[in-house]
Amino acid sequence: MKKMAIVSFEGNMSCFVHALLNVWDYHQKGYEVALIIEGQSCARIADIGDSPKGQLWNDIKTAGLIKAVCKACAAAVDTLDAAEEQELPIDATLSGHAALEPYTTAGYEIVLF
């Protein structure tokens, strides 16, 4: 099975939604998918649920496709509490950030948004 790790860094909603759309598309086509939320995209954790793509966000959460939220970045953009309230997996294994090496070791192809 093909493995894709989508890493979202950009903070604007449009870019974050494109990452979500691709995560869901790969998932629907049978890929093993991991969404890693890093950088400024952590800011979207607090408002994506109320956006027109809120249902897509909920579907991705329910499917367990969110594998990591960067602890340092979520704290920096003041959404760490929102991530914890949504029971998202928080990762701080790389000096406070989410590590990508475990995904490459597991055979994931990494795509950055």
In tens, the pLDDT along 22-48 reads 999 999 999 999 999 999 999 999 999
pLDDT, residue 109, reads: 98
Asked if the model's pLDDT at residue 101 lies above 90, the reply is: yes
pLDDT of the residue at 1: 85
Share of the chain above pLDDT 90, in %: 99
pTM, rounded to two decimals:
0.96
- The domains of the chain are located at 3-8+18-107
Q: What is the pLDDT of residue 58?
A: 98
CA distance 15 to 22: 11
3-state helix, strand, coil in the chain (%, to 5): 45, 20, 30
Tell me which architecture the domain covering 3-8+18-107 has in CATH. 3-Layer(aba) Sandwich (3.40)
